[in-house]
Amino acid sequence: MESNERRNGARTAARLTQLRQGIERWRQRRTKRSPMPPELWTAATELARELGAYRVARELGVGYESLKERLGGGGERSGRAGGGFVEIAGPALLGGAPTTVELSDTSGRKVAIRLAAGQAVDVAALVAAWRTAGR
């Protein structure tokens, strides 16, 4: 049985190969020196967030500086699993208007939990359970 990491790595490699082929097709069909289509840049930046700008630029044959710029200057992955710190104010979860808590990770998994007005949730327990379920 394959581990999740191995399957995710295989999916990422397949996405990289598919994107490389798409860029090659575009290069063969383009007229003169037209810019690469936005959908190809979007796919390249998504992969660069996972794998790092240098690796993606090298494997796709696109400009590293252009890719890094499209990432907002933070072209390399952080090297740590998980996201950054998110502060959720108590009043937003404990009263007033309906609230949506959304979680995502670098593999593309996402979950959204909609809370009715006044409904409370233990966010720390929710995040811990979601991370454990993804392993």
SS (H, E, C) 43-88: HHHHHHHHHCHHHHHHHHCCCHHHHHHHCCCCCCCCCCCCCCCCCC
User: Which class for 91: exposed (0-12), middle (13-18), buried (19 or more C-beta within 10 A)?
Assistant: exposed
Cα–Cα distance between 75 and 93 in angstroms, integer?
34
**Is 70 exceeded by the pLDDT of residue 96?**
no
Q: What share of the chain has pLDDT > 70, as a percent?
A: 72
Residue 93 has pLDDT above 70, yes or no: no
- At 76, give phi and psi (nearest 5°): -100, 150
Q: What's the pTM value of the predicted model, to 2 decimals? A: 0.51
Residue 5, pLDDT above cutoff 60: yes
Q: Can you tell me the mean pLDDT for 114-122? A: 72
Q: What's the pLDDT at 9?
A: 74
